[in-house]
Amino acid sequence: MKRYVIIITAAVLGACQQPAGTPQQPEHPTALNLSGRKVTVYTTADSTGYRITATGTLNFEDLPQPLETQPCIFVDPQTTFQQFEGIGGALTDAAAETFAKLPKPAQDSLLAAYYDPAKGIGYTLGRTNIHSCDFSSDSYTYIKEGDSTLSTFSLAHDEQFKIPLIKKAITAAGGKLPLLVSPWSPPAFMKDNNSMLGGGKLLPAYRQNWANYVVKFIKAFEEKGIPVWGLTVQNEPMAKQKWESCIFTAEEERDYIKSFLGPTLQKNGLESKKLIAWDHNRDLIFQRASTILEDEEAAKYVWGIGFHWYETWTGGDMQFDNLRLVNQAFPGKHLVFTEGCKEKFSMDSVNNWSLGERYGHSMINDFNNGTVAWIDWNLLLDEHGGPNHVGNFCFAPVHANTQNGKLIYTNAYWYIGHFSKFIRPGAKRIGAAASRWLLQTTAFQNTDGSIAVVVMNTSSQKIPFQLWIKGKAAGTESLPHSIMTMVL
């Protein structure tokens, strides 16, 4: 007899997004027998001590046709969408340097909190930077400046902090942690501004050298016992930043993929690595995806399109409709959330409930619009929101006070956990809809048959509702600013 895990998280975010893509029928659909089953409820809520806490039990009862006056979350396991790859966070220089300053008990606690699916929230993906990014203590590369032959290539810099942390994370995750790698800038001599910082472009004469460099990095990491799952072409290719950055227009990225990076990966036996284009915000994602993926020679190398959530710099909301359009236009490719964090760190704000609600808002809507994987930015930062060599201090789900060795968990950690702990790799998104605009939902069925339904409520209202599955319903309520998980 199958067990069914039902996750409910509550938080208000405006009108629900329509499911992306064309529904599929499951290979072996089975009817659910919910009669007589007890439902255990887990809750995280503002103004309470609840943090994925068991808060009660519920029963399913007959409810053939709900009324308009009965708020419901409707779930249909026989309507399926994209397959889920996993959730994780970035193992940056900043995370690794901060981790190294912690006493061993705090280090062990952090690893269990992130990677243990029973004691923690069960992360199953990771991301790291190819040489330096803003969240490094300095700018560095793996070669001597000017070495176009790459003969001086060495991972010595990463062996001090980053590689040890990644290896410990792999062990904590049970021996497997698919890793996405991303470059922020080629070495200075390969660029037209002769600097890793401040934008600039890759010089045409060095396109092959840069592709060779990326391949050399992947092979060197794997020789260290760190398997690489995938790579992005360029982090934020339309952003001229004061830190490591490099500009690629859509046409430039397309041509670099099809003439240099794609063929170089293939020639070196790395064609199985997931090559992800764009790796920037949702605002320009359709223009970038269509330019690259409508070119057959470029598209054949591209597994997916990566995106961030920082289009909100304009003062607007996250642009989920752009994801839906990419998903509908290119259903054979994969959407991956590759980075997001709350900027402008302040220790006075680490307990703000809005931190977690921003994560929940993005995750529900990203998944509903076809996203297959979701990777947060820094796993861990210090009490200043760094280290960061250009002063771009930000929030992470967990901060460390390096003076006393204590860990500070923001509610972003718990919100992410309501997804990552219960939705596992290989799951498929299933049909889920809310009958009230104050409730927003997504749902997945895991490979073991368990079902996870997430519902958010960012309002100050307590909202009663019915979880309805095929004529059976379990009544519960969403606390103000809360996220709940129900396990059957």
User: Is 269 a member of any domain?
Assistant: yes
pLDDT in the model for residue 3:
46
User: Is 248 a member of any domain?
Assistant: yes
Q: How many domains does the chain have?
A: 2
The residue with tokens 């995280």 is 44
**What is the per-residue pLDDT across 425-434, written as a single tens digit (0 to 9) for each?**
999 999 999 9
pLDDT in the model for residue 26:
43
Q: Round the CA-based radius of gyration of the chain to a whole number and report it.
A: 22
Asked if 200 and 216 sit in the same domain, the reply is yes
**What is the per-residue pLDDT across 204-245, written as a single tens digit (0 to 9) for each?**
999 999 999 999 999 999 999 999 999 999 999 999 999 999
Q: Distance between CA atoms of 147 and 153, rounded to whole angstroms?
A: 9
Asked if 314 and 334 sit in the same domain, the reply is yes
pLDDT in the model for residue 54:
85
Q: Domain boundary residue among 394, 410, 425?
A: 425
pLDDT in the model for residue 35:
67
Segment 337-361 shows an average pLDDT of 97
Asked if 288 and 321 sit in the same domain, the reply is yes
Segment 15-38 shows an average pLDDT of 52
Asked if 93 and 54 sit in the same domain, the reply is no
User: β-strands 179-183, 125-130: how paired?
Assistant: parallel
Q: Which residues are catalytic?
A: 236, 339
**Between 259 and 41, where is the model more confident?**
259
Mean pLDDT, all residues of the chain: 93
32 has a pLDDT exceeding 90: no
Asked if 154 and 258 sit in the same domain, the reply is yes
Token pair listed for 344: 């402008």
13 has a pLDDT exceeding 70: no
pLDDT in the model for residue 1:
43
Report which secondary-structure segment, H or E, holds 304. strand 304-308
Q: Residue 341 sits in a domain of what CATH number?
A: 3.20.20.80
- Which residues are bridge partners to 72 per DSSP? 466
| CA 76 to chain CA centroid, nearest Å | 25
pLDDT in the model for residue 15:
34
Question: Could you tell me the pLDDT band of residue 12, with boundaries at 50, 70 and 90?
Answer: very low
Q: Domain boundary residue among 385, 401, 425?
A: 425
User: Is 27 a member of any domain?
Assistant: no
Which domain range does residue 196 map to?
A: 86-425
pLDDT in the model for residue 50:
94
Q: Distance between CA atoms of 466 and 72, rounded to whole angstroms?
A: 5
Asked if 78 and 173 sit in the same domain, the reply is no
Asked if 204 and 59 sit in the same domain, the reply is no
**Between 410 and 25, where is the model more confident?**
410
The secondary structure of 246-299 as a DSSP string is: ----HHHHHHHIIIIIHHHHHHTT-TTSEEEEEEEESTTHHHHHHHHHTSHHHH
Asked if 475 and 364 sit in the same domain, the reply is no
Give percent of the chain with pLDDT exceeding 70.
93
The residue with tokens 């980053």 is 162
Token pair listed for 9: 């998280």
The residue with tokens 């990566």 is 306
Question: Could you tell me the pLDDT band of residue 33, with boundaries at 50, 70 and 90?
Answer: confident
User: Is 409 a member of any domain?
Assistant: yes
Asked if 408 and 444 sit in the same domain, the reply is no
Question: Is the CB of residue 44 less than 8 Å from the CB of residue 484?
Answer: yes
Question: Could you tell me the pLDDT band of residue 18, with boundaries at 50, 70 and 90?
Answer: very low
420 has a pLDDT exceeding 70: yes
19 has a pLDDT exceeding 70: no
Segment 15-29 shows an average pLDDT of 43
| Three-state secondary structure call for residue 318 | coil
Asked if 448 and 319 sit in the same domain, the reply is no
Asked if 326 and 466 sit in the same domain, the reply is no
User: Is 68 a member of any domain?
Assistant: yes
Question: Could you tell me the pLDDT band of residue 28, with boundaries at 50, 70 and 90?
Answer: very low
Q: Residue 468 sits in a domain of what CATH number?
A: 2.60.40.1180
User: Is 8 a member of any domain?
Assistant: no
In this structure, the dihedral spanned by the alpha carbons of residues 275, 331, 370 and 304, taken in order and rounded to 10 degrees, is: 10
User: Is 377 a member of any domain?
Assistant: yes
Asked if 198 and 315 sit in the same domain, the reply is yes
Q: What is the DSSP letter of 197?
A: B
Question: Could you tell me the pLDDT band of residue 166, with boundaries at 50, 70 and 90?
Answer: very high
CB within 8 Å of 284: residues ≥ 6 apart = 238, 278
Token pair listed for 240: 């001229």
- To the question of pTM greater than 0.75 for the whole model, the response is yes
Segment 451-457 shows an average pLDDT of 90
Question: Is the CB of residue 452 less than 8 Å from the CB of residue 5?
Answer: yes
The amino acid occupying position 60 is F
User: Is 190 a member of any domain?
Assistant: yes
